[in-house]
Amino acid sequence: MTGRIGSRIALALLGLTIFLALWQGIIWLRGYPAFILPPPAAVMARLWELVADGSLWFHAGATLQEVLAGLGLGALAATLLGYGLAHSPVAERLLAPYIVASQSVPVVAVAPLLVIWFGTGLLSKVLVSALIVFFPILVNTIVGVRSVGRNLRDLMRALEATRWQVVWLLELPAALPVLLGGLKVGATLAVIGAVVGEFVASDRGLGYLLKQGQQLYDTPLVFVGIGALVVMAQSLYGTVALLERGVVRWRET
């Protein structure tokens, strides 16, 4: 196990080294100015400035708060509605056209309305993030609950299990891997939703930082903001993946 982790770290460092070398090589060959494509050293210097004065932690913390709240709200609403639709084909046929139609409207178009209705504070960013994670988790919830075999349901019925016992002892354990798969997708989409909300109206957050860098032609700042968002999304995805690995291991034992 230790050797495998060491190999992955070595491969990641090698990939990063190659990427930085190609980045610097393109700048040398094409002669791009710093406001078009800054060298890695300039980006690292800007990163150090933001870390030293605390700006990066402040803005990253604001975005992370929006992401976690939006992911939690969207996942909870999608799971509850998905469970109900999985047990009611009539309700699914009634609501499916409206749910699918809602996904045809880009979140960028909805975000200004949410800012107008709920203000420029935390709530509007949370709602944008929740909207963007809602659909994939909803679909996975329906698929996961319906994946439970009929023979297992018949067994629970023969044992005179209550509705809550069926949920906690059968449906939730059987559907959990599929639900966590949707949650992995939602974890990355939640970051996108929060940044979209910050682009529309905000005075803090990584989206605000990116917008400031664009307006000031501070390209190193834009690269730092993008890098912070990548790290945040990867961390959330990795956390859910670790949880999923534990669940899969439990199912295999």
**Total structural domains within the chain:** 2
Q: What are 8-66's pLDDT values in tens digits? A: 777 777 888 888 888 888 888 877 787 888 888 888 999 999 999 889 999 999 999 99
Whole-angstrom CA distances from 68 to 15, 234, 235 are 30, 14, 12
Q: Which residues have CB under 8 Å from 61's CB, separation 6+?
A: none
Of the ranges 73-87, 97-111, 154-168, which one carries the lowest mean pLDDT score? 154-168
Residue 96's pLDDT is what? 81
Q: Check whether residue 160 and residue 78 sit in a common domain.
A: yes
Q: Please state, in angstroms and rounded to a whole number, the distance separating the CA atoms of residues 20 and 25.
A: 8
Q: Please state, in angstroms and rounded to a whole number, the distance separating the CA atoms of residues 67 and 239.
A: 14
The whole domain housing 74 covers 38-252
CB-based contact 126:70 (threshold 8 Å): yes
Question: Stretch 133-160: mean pLDDT, rounded?
Answer: 78
Q: Check whether residue 165 and residue 47 sit in a common domain.
A: yes
Q: Check whether residue 5 and residue 121 sit in a common domain.
A: no
Q: Check whether residue 109 and residue 11 sit in a common domain.
A: no
Residue 155's pLDDT is what? 67
Q: Check whether residue 6 and residue 99 sit in a common domain.
A: no
Q: Check whether residue 119 and residue 17 sit in a common domain.
A: no
Q: Check whether residue 42 and residue 106 sit in a common domain.
A: yes
Q: Check whether residue 92 and residue 21 sit in a common domain.
A: no
Whole-angstrom CA distances from 89 to 28, 77, 95, 96 are 61, 18, 10, 10
CB-based contact 67:129 (threshold 8 Å): yes
Q: Check whether residue 138 and residue 235 sit in a common domain.
A: yes
Q: Is 18 exposed, middle or buried (0-12, 13-18, 19+ CB in 10 A)?
A: exposed
Q: Check whether residue 92 and residue 26 sit in a common domain.
A: no
CB-based contact 224:50 (threshold 8 Å): yes
Q: Check whether residue 21 and residue 44 sit in a common domain.
A: no
Q: What are 112-128's pLDDT values in tens digits? A: 888 888 888 889 899 99
Q: Check whether residue 63 and residue 137 sit in a common domain.
A: yes
CATH (domain of 221): 1.10.3720.10
